[in-house]
A and B are shown apart, each in its own frame.
Chain A
Amino acid sequence: MKILVVDDEEDVKSLFEQKFRREIRSGQFEFSFSFSGEQALSYLADHHSEVVMILSDINMPGMSGIELLKTIRKDHPQAPPQVMMITAYGDSANHDQAMQLGADDFLTKPVNFVELKEKLQQIL
């Protein structure tokens, strides 16, 4: 299963790679990383059919996670990937907006990786 992680913090890449090391090695998950909303869109344009799941931060410079979500839902109405939003601000306004725009799930930072792993495995 290919998962696209979108976050402006580049260290997220090594963190995910280490956290899901076993799953990556066993081929259960496959991660790709984009460090902005724009980058994520261009990646999706190239690899759309591969990506099953998108994990996106909301607060990013440039295109925000919410805008990214909007664009994805508009451009790819067929075979939509699962989208999970992640934010440091766990307020209800952010949550409601994300869910209304068609997010499948909503996580609050700091991410609980045990919980995230369970969710990912369930989707599989």
Chain B
Amino acid sequence: MGYFLVTLFLIQYIRSILQTKAQLPDLDKSLLLIRNIAIALVATFYLSETPDWFSWIWSFFLGGVLYFLFGKEEVKPVRTVLQGIIPYLVLSVIEDVVHLIAPKFYKEYGDYFQIATFFAFALCFVLWFYARKQQKVLLKEREDRLRDEMISKAQKESLEYLVNERTIELTQQKEELQKTIEELKSTQNQLIQSEKMASLGELTAGIAHEIQNPLNFVNNFSEVSVELCQELEEEIDKTEIADADKDYIKGIISDLSQNQQKITHHGKRADSIVKGMLQHSRVSSGEKEPVEINALADEYMRLAYHGLRAKEKEFNSALVTDFDPTIGKVNVLPQDLGRVFLNLFTNAFYAVAEKRRKLTEQGIGADYKPEVKISTKKFDNKLYIRVTDNGTGMPEQVKAKIFQPFFTTKPTGQGTGLGLSMSYDIITSGHGGQLDVETVEGQSTEFRITIPMS
């Protein structure tokens, strides 16, 4: 009976301590088999009316089980308990041996044997309890350690998450900073550019004022000289000089008069340039008022077109309009903005006319369809105006200078080089907007005006 209990508890103990069912399924199966055999054995023992020799079978069985378990590496943690069974088994075997070999001696001292066996049996359970207690402490320790590990693992994970988050944040910040730097750089360039333009504009206006007065004298004196020449001619007729001499003198006077007229003519030219320069300083002197932008653009487009048509009869170009009807009235300086439109359209028409002239020289002008387009758009509280032509376009070095005062590609006398520089001033300082240009040499040019509304 002791064998059975020992075996049963042993199996149960190993199974519960090592959690064999979940962690060591193979060992668990063997243990269950051992238990079943033990139950079968105890059943057989009672069925066969408890014969004495049956304890031999128990001894062998238990010995076999112990041998089997000692051989298993996984069972090492509970080895103490296994070792605790050994005295019981040995004592039981010795008792049986003595009982068999010396029944007399056994009869006399059998009680001692039984007491010893009982103590060994009890030892098994004492050991078992002790081990169980020990195991509990160990288990608790292990659980604590595990929990600590879990906690530190969680901390580590949260730290890693934090680090990751920070890294992403930093990367984003870095990218944003880089973008800001690039934006700053381009703004700086724009500022330098507009500063240059502004100082050039002021300089231009200053020069114009200084030139205006002496130029007035040149014009006035040359004009009065022409009058003087005429009078001189009249006076000569009154004198009595030989006709040949009169003619000679009149010839000289006529030359003088012509010279004065040339001076007047070129003086007037200079005057109109000075007037153009002075307009620089008058930018944004007027009052802003609500203006129908589409109508204004259309009006100046037609004005520029017919202006050019009047000078060149054969000139022709398609006029394309793409107006955003939602724009309505916008607060602008109507005269100044009109001047910008006039400049842009005049340039556009000039560009398509030039291209046609060049192509005709090459003999391939027939296929060319000149086109000037105006498009307006209201978006995000901003007014976008584009003037596009499919004319000559510009090379890069020309494009870089077009907003500078006095820069022109037109032949002498046909352009002052002030139109675009003034337009630039009107759009940027007059309306707080932007004037940009995009061009493909030989193909097209597009001027883009952006004006903030409100």
Q: How far is the CA of A18 from the CA of B219 in the complex (A)?
A: 13
Do A15 and B212 touch (CB < 8 A)?
no
* Contact (Cβ within 8 A) A109 B213: yes
Interface: B228 (CB within 8 A): yes
A73-93 residues at the B interface, CB under 8 angstroms:
88, 91
* Docked pose: A88 CA to B211 CA in angstroms: 11
Neighbour of A9 across the interface among B213, B219, B271, CB < 8 A? B213
The residue that B217 contacts in the complex, of A11, A19, A91, A113, with Cβ under 8 A, is A11
Specify which chain B residues have a CB less than 8 angstroms from the CB of A109 in the assembled complex: 212-213, 216
How far apart sit A9 and B215, CA to CA, in the bound complex (Å)?
Answer: 13
Q: Could you tell me the distance in whole angstroms from the C-beta of B208 to the nearest C-beta in chain A?
A: 10
**In the complex the two chains form, is B213's CB within 8 Å of A18's CB?**
no
Query: How many cross-chain pairs have Cβ atoms below 8 Å apart between A and B?
Result: 30
* Residue B220 interfacial (CB < 8 Å): yes
- B213/A88 in contact, CB under 8 A: yes
- 27 A-B residue pairs with CB within 8 Å: A9-B213, A11-B221, A15-B220, A15-B221, A15-B224, A18-B221, A18-B224, A18-B227, A18-B228, A19-B220, A19-B224, A88-B209, A88-B212, A88-B213, A88-B216, A91-B285, A109-B212, A109-B213, A109-B216, A110-B216, A110-B219, A110-B220, A110-B271, A111-B216, A111-B220, A113-B220, A113-B223
CB-CB under 8 A from B224, the residues of chain A are 15, 18-19
Using A15-B224, A109-B212, A109-B213 as known contacts, list a sample of 9 further A-B pairs with CB atoms less than 8 Å apart, ordered by residue number in A.
A9-B213, A9-B217, A11-B217, A11-B221, A18-B221, A19-B220, A88-B212, A111-B216, A111-B220
Q: Is the interface of A mostly helix, strand, loop or mixed?
A: loop
| Chain A residue at smallest Cβ distance from B221 | A15
Task: Kindly list chain A residues whose C-beta atoms are within 8 Å of the C-beta of B209.
Answer: 88
Q: Max chain B CB contacts within 10 Å: which of A88, A110, A111, A113?
A: A110
Distance from B211 Cβ to chain A, minimum over Cβ atoms (Å): 11
Closest to A57 in B: B213
In chain B, positions 373-404 with a C-beta closer than 8 Å to chain A are: none
Instruction: Tell me the bound Cα distance from A15 to B217 in angstroms.
Output: 8
Specify the chain A residue showing the minimal Cβ separation from B282: A91
Measured in the bound complex, the distance between the Cα atoms of B229 and A18 in whole Å is 12
Shortest C-beta distance, B239 to chain A (Å), equals: 18
Query: What residues of chain B lie closer than 8 Å to A19, measured between beta carbons?
Result: 220, 224
Seen from chain A, the residues whose Cβ lies within 8 Å of a Cβ on chain B are 9, 11, 15, 18-19, 88, 91, 109-111, 113
Q: Which residues of B contact A18 (CB under 8 A)?
A: 221, 224, 227-228
Identify whether the interface residues of B are mostly helix, strand, loop, or mixed: helix
Chain A min CB distance to B29 (Å): 111
Contacts of B223 in A (CB 8 A): 113
- CA distance in complex: A88, B209 (Å): 8
- Chain A's closest residue to B219 (CB) is A110
A111 to B216, CA, bound (A): 8
Residues of B close to A9: CB separation below 8 A:
213, 217
Closest A residue, CB atoms, query B223: A113
CB proximity of A117 to chain B, nearest CB, Å: 12
Which residues from chain B contact A88 at a C-beta distance below 8 Å?
209, 212-213, 216
Contacts of B285 in A (CB 8 A): 91
By a CB distance below 8 angstroms, the chain B residues around A15 are 217, 220-221, 224
Q: Scan residues 216-274 of chain B and give those whose CB is less than 8 A from a CB of chain A.
A: 216-217, 219-221, 223-224, 227-228, 271
- From residue B56, how far is it (CB to closest CB) to chain A in Å? 136
Measured between alpha carbons, how far is A9 from B213 in the docked complex, in Å? Answer: 9
Residues of A within 8 A of B227 (CB): 18
Distance in Å: Cβ of B231 to nearest Cβ of chain A = 8
Cβ of A11: which chain B residues have Cβ within 8 Å of it? 217, 221
Q: Which residues of B in the span 141-189 have a Cβ within 8 Å of any Cβ on A?
A: none
Closest residue of B by beta carbon distance from A88: B212
A110: chain B residues at CB < 8 Å are 216, 219-220, 271
Closest Cβ–Cβ distance, residue A96 to chain B (whole Å): 14
Chain A neighbourhood of B219, CB < 8 A: 110
Closest CB-CB distance, A23 to chain B, in whole Å? 13
Q: How long is the Cα–Cα vector from A11 to B214 in the complex, in angstroms?
A: 10
Please give the distance in Å from A115's CB to the nearest CB on chain B.
Answer: 13
Query: From residue A114, how far is it (CB to closest CB) to chain B in Å?
Result: 10
Q: How far apart are the CA atoms of A15 and B216 in the complex, in Å?
A: 11
Residues of A within 8 A of B216 (CB): 88, 109-111
Docked complex Cα distance between A55 and B227 (Å)? 23
Give the distance in Å from the alpha carbon of A111 to the alpha carbon of B213 in the complex.
Answer: 11
Complex-state Cα separation, A85 to B220, whole angstroms? 19
B213: chain A residues at CB < 8 Å are 9, 88, 109
